[in-house]
Amino acid sequence: MGKRVGMEVSIAAAEAVGLCDVDVIAAYPITPQTHIVEHLSELVADGHLDAEFIPVESEHSAMSTCVGSAAAGARTFTSTASQGYALMAEICYIASSMRLPIVMAVANRALSAPINIWNDHSDMMMARDTGWIQTVAENGQEVVDLIIHAFRVAEDHRVLLPVMVNLDGFILTHMIEPIILPDKEEVDRYLPPYKPKMRLDPQNPLTFGPVGMPEVYTEAKKAQDEALKGSKAVIVEAWREFEKQFGRSYKPVETYKADDAEIIILTMGSISETAMTAVDKMRAAGQKVGLVRLRLWRPFPAEELIDALKGAKALAVVDRSLPFSGGCGPVCVEVKSALFDRGLSPYVQNFLAGLGGRDVTVEDFEAMAAKVSDGLAKGLPMGYEIMNVRE
Amino acid sequence: MAKETGIVSWKELALGCTLTEPGSAAQLKTGDWRSMRPVTDFELCNKCGQCYIFCPDMVYSQNEEGFYEADYYYCKGCGICARECPKDAIQMVEEGD
Ligand code: SF4
Ligand code: SF4
């Protein structure tokens, strides 16, 4: 087993990609993803990683190159954030529709305007309906682990879909944390070499990405939807295998002191660790508060979520991007939909917090718990509110 | 019929809608879009082959006598051949007439 060393999470992410024997990296630098691709470029330039590093002229080209590379049968990685994701979005739909197992780390950052380089989840929510698998890391170790997991899931012949590993910009990317980088042999045991099911090959010509007439488009999308839904079993299986190999366990929905909780706070990403501190504090004061965190965002783990939430009387669901007049933020939409489909109706309030890099504090989580407790008792209307906005 | 029109169950589509058979577009029936069909009067035709050249869907092929015959499986009724024919030998006729 590798030993625990202090390193910047972006460097660890790049090292993890290197441990996965990636063949092609095509990327364009953007804050706060820069250190990830910078370090990969160094690894290739210094001869530590036998891969092609293609320094493209935009994110649109980055994902286009990844599509070509993955279609040719190469293990392919890229990374981006925010506006970079927005520019590559067109090709992201194509990557998933063509069932190409590209892995991408997204250093989550707000979308302009106003220009803002700091962390929230606007970019990953923009990616919500692209048909990619999306996992979410809460700390540096998880970034490393989820990247290794991502290649295994993406390339599994029962899946063959691209995977996005989300890590909060700056809060994770620029943090120095104690991280265990696994040995190469361990990773090799976990991650077999990539064997494409179909690839561009002059000896066996195929047409990738043809036109789909109205007679076939619906069926093509149905097949893609089933593939994404079906990937959940493989994602879970690959996490179980990961635990056997590396000793760290992951689940689609993670819980913290949620079993007997009457009030549950629901989070995603690095703020979850702050929320745990808040839960500890409230528990110490005798309040039955727990925490549920989404590790898997797509395919959405509705069954696991309901399992974790059942018993709660009130939910404080945190979203880190705006619904702009919709009923509630994207995370809360899924939560409410999962509850409604099963005839469950706890009190649900949606808090839009941590937008464009604003801190979410222990006190904020305490305030959320107090608000839903009050809302439940008084039967206050449900909806979304922007936390700590100055009037 | 299902095969030639590409109408199959979602379960039968190749991974990512990939085409595994080269030239399979030849199976796609474009002829069912047509509302008008070109009809050639071989009495007027001088076998110049302009209809064959201009047709965007490779509908025409030469028969043993050298005349150009249409394969309505592909003809979508665009009327280009009728417009380009220097002898006005091709008339567009309403389908169903
Ligand atoms: S009508 Fe159009 S498609 Fe049909 S034969 Fe003429 S040129 Fe070809
Ligand atoms: S373009 Fe007219 S004249 Fe020429 S081959 Fe065709 S039908 Fe005959």
Last residue of a domain, one of A191, A219, A246: A246
Q: For A119-135, write each residue's pLDDT tens digit.
A: 999 999 999 999 999 99
Q: Give residue B16's region: left, alpha or beta (phi > 0; psi -120 to 50).
A: left
Last residue of a domain, one of A230, A246, A262: A246
Residues A74 and A190 in one domain: yes
Chain B neighbors of A212, CB-CB under 8 A: 17
Q: Residue A312 above 80 pLDDT?
A: yes
Q: Residue B2 above 50 pLDDT?
A: no
Q: A391 lies in a domain?
A: no
User: Binning pLDDT at 50, 70 and 90, where does residue A147 land?
Assistant: very high
Q: Kindly report the nearest CA distance between residue B5 and chain A, in angstroms.
A: 9
* CATH code, domain with A78: 3.40.50.970
Residues A236 and A282 in one domain: no
Start-to-end CA span in chain A (Å): 53
Q: Residue B5 above 60 pLDDT?
A: no
ipTM for this prediction: 0.87
Is residue A309 within 8 Å of residue A339, measured between CB atoms? Answer: yes
Give the residue numbers spanning the domain of B35: 29-94
B36 lines ligand 1 (CB under 6 A): no
What's the number of domains chain B is made of?
A: 1
Residues A265 and A202 in one domain: no
Q: Whose CA is nearest to atom 6 of ligand 1?
A: B81
Structure tokens at A222: 């149905």
Q: Whose CA is nearest to atom 8 of ligand 1?
A: B55
Which atom of ligand 1 sits closest to the CA of residue B92? 1
More confident residue, A313 or B57: A313
Q: A182 lies in a domain?
A: yes
Q: Residue B1 above 50 pLDDT?
A: no
Q: What is the largest CA-CA distance in chain B?
A: 51
Q: Whose CA is nearest to atom 3 of ligand 2?
A: B45
Q: Which ligand is nearest to the CA of B62?
A: 2
Omega before residue A192 within 30° of 0, cis = no
Q: For A252-298, write each residue's pLDDT tens digit.
A: 999 999 999 999 999 999 999 999 999 999 999 999 999 999 999 99
Q: B5 lies in a domain?
A: no
Residues A203 and A292 in one domain: no
Q: B80 lies in a domain?
A: yes
Q: How far apart are CA B81 and CA B75, in angstroms?
A: 10
Q: Kindly report the nearest CA distance between residue A199 and chain B, in angstroms.
A: 10
Chain B neighbors of A209, CB-CB under 8 A: 16-17
B78 lines ligand 1 (CB under 6 A): yes
In angstroms, what is the C-alpha Rg of chain B?
A: 16
B37 phi/psi in degrees, rounded to 5: -120, 145
Give the residue numbers spanning the domain of A10: 4-246
With both helix axes pointing from N to C terminus, report the angle between A140-155 and A214-246 in degrees, rounded to the nearest 10: 130
B59 lines ligand 1 (CB under 6 A): yes
Q: Which residues contact A185 (CB under 8 A, 6 or more apart)?
A: none
B46 lines ligand 2 (CB under 6 A): yes
